[in-house]
Structure 1
């Protein structure tokens, strides 16, 4: 009974890790709605809006837990405080860099370059987690990553510019996941609001001295609110929550769901031209996802069946 409860709990974290990139996969749609605005403006107002929404929610519903986390931080020894501050600053810089490069790539490079980024990201995450966090991989998981690497090589065999942008986006988010895995002991929602607050320290001076007029169109602000809430706060919290119960490598590999959806949108919705080799490459990626998570999938379903019988 204990094992089935543990499996069900793991299934909860796996579902959170799946849902985050699933939501992100559709983000290119609202970003394209406001493509005529500078990428930095979209980023700045996204951060400010997400921050305001989060602070309102925390002040209304989570003041006690926030106070408890602040008290816990002050009780840490000096080295513990310094470590947490450094991890938070690093995470803030990485997520800021990831957002800016993603928005710029979607609006000024190509949807497919953004999709390629999230194909590369799991490989960088797996390598970083293996080297830095000493996370272990099964033989089948290593085979799945090798298959995925081959697919990425097929897709990267095009524009060097796309590849460089993809690598930058991917590296920022891969190391963000690794930092979040290391940063433990505090509520993930509170960590997110602190990270966004730090990002805002860079954003607010830029907004004050921004030479662009503040947008007045309802479409812009409606889209920014949608991006800030549905495509920022929710998936970021889900990915951070997932890291409580599963490895950063598994969370990273599930990011492959994002580019699969983005690729489908690029072909079916945005009508971007796609070579036949890309269909093969994305099919291989789907196979790699299933292969990497086959053990987790089996355990989750067997645990669910055991609970149902119980």
Structure 2
């Protein structure tokens, strides 16, 4: 289940590329609408509606879910933009950085303490991002945006402690009116270009929910630290797709950046493995 979840998340760029005639906003709007329909059906099957009503009845929890909706919506849009614009490698970099961003947010927000190896791991990742920024002459907004937006999303969801199905149902429901309005009023295809078939757009709903269920099933059956190690499958698959399928160039600066970040991740995993603290991410 864990392998299946992170493999599906890693292969997500393939689906987005098949929908590529659509704009990034159009792809995201379809994903939101079809995911909402799947989640509504799932909430009936799993009997999660009482949890949904209870969450909406608590003003502070509802406000926190509004914040998580904004963050995850921005994350989804940036990710689709990265894939659509031929920057899958930078997107994969963002999800390699994300676990170390989680560590940083834990220190800043939750007042967690880091050991020396974890501090060095974060500094190595920062050095990798800095090297890429210096080479590009600009802040690498895609990897940093994806890493920090998803880190903030995970932090909010950790603080409110809500189940994945009902939480994502509320978030998707909040985004749905904007998505429907966008689809009704904005052009999502260039003039004269045929769009992808309807079944391909509907597939976005299943592809959003299936890995989420697999992740939840795996989390109930294996050690959380073991599940955390599997999270690197996703960005690894994305990086391989970028180089070998999408034809993106693997430059020396990428090797330097990835090398520093991978070194940091290896140090972080080695330092935290025996404590069971390798925290998995769930790129919904």
TM tier, shorter chain?
A: 0.7 to 0.9
Q: 8 Å contact 2:55–2:62 — kept in the other structure?
A: no
Q: Which has the higher helix share?
A: 1
Q: 8 Å contact 1:27–1:227 — kept in the other structure?
A: no
Q: 1:168 aligns with which of 133, 145, 155?
A: 145
Name the CA shift for 1:52/1:27 in 2 (closer, same or farther; >3 Å): same
Q: 8 Å contact 1:116–1:155 — kept in the other structure?
A: no
Structure 2 Cα separation of the partners of residues 160 and 97 of structure 1: 24
Q: 2:60 aligns with which of 83, 88, 92?
A: 83
Match of residue 47 from structure 1: 32
Q: 1:205 aligns with which of 181, 204, 213?
A: 181
Structure 1 Cα separation of the partners of residues 213 and 137 of structure 2: 33
Match of residue 38 from structure 1: 23
Q: CA deviation at 1:208?
A: 2.2
Give the total of aligned pairs.
272
Structure 2 Cα separation of the partners of residues 52 and 151 of structure 1: 41
TM-score scaled by length of structure 1: 0.73
Contiguous gaps of at least 5 residues in structure 1: 1-14, 301-310
Q: 8 Å contact 1:117–1:166 — kept in the other structure?
A: yes
Match of residue 240 from structure 2: 264
Q: 1:125 aligns with which of 102, 120, 126?
A: 102
Q: CA deviation at 1:218?
A: 8.7
> 1:192 and 2:176 equivalent?
no
Q: 8 Å contact 2:35–2:206 — kept in the other structure?
A: yes
Match of residue 79 from structure 2: 102
Structure 2 Cα separation of the partners of residues 246 and 123 of structure 1: 17
Name the CA shift for 1:224/1:155 in 2 (closer, same or farther; >3 Å): farther
Name the CA shift for 1:179/1:237 in 2 (closer, same or farther; >3 Å): farther
Query: What's the C-alpha RMSD, in Å, of the aligned pairs?
Result: 3.6
Name the CA shift for 1:261/1:152 in 2 (closer, same or farther; >3 Å): farther
Deviations 1:124-178 (A, max 9, x none): 3322221112233333222222222223333334335671233333332121111
Aligned pairs for 1:1-310 within 5 A: 21-59=6-44, 61-63=45-47, 65-67=48-50, 69-70=51-52, 72-73=54-55, 81-108=58-85, 110-160=87-137, 163-184=140-161, 186-212=162-188, 219-230=196-207, 232-236=208-212, 257-294=233-270, 297-298=273-274
Q: 8 Å contact 1:125–1:174 — kept in the other structure?
A: yes
Max Rg structure = 1
Name the CA shift for 1:124/1:160 in 2 (closer, same or farther; >3 Å): farther
Q: 8 Å contact 1:105–1:111 — kept in the other structure?
A: yes
Structure 2 Cα separation of the partners of residues 269 and 131 of structure 1: 39
Match of residue 6 from structure 1: none
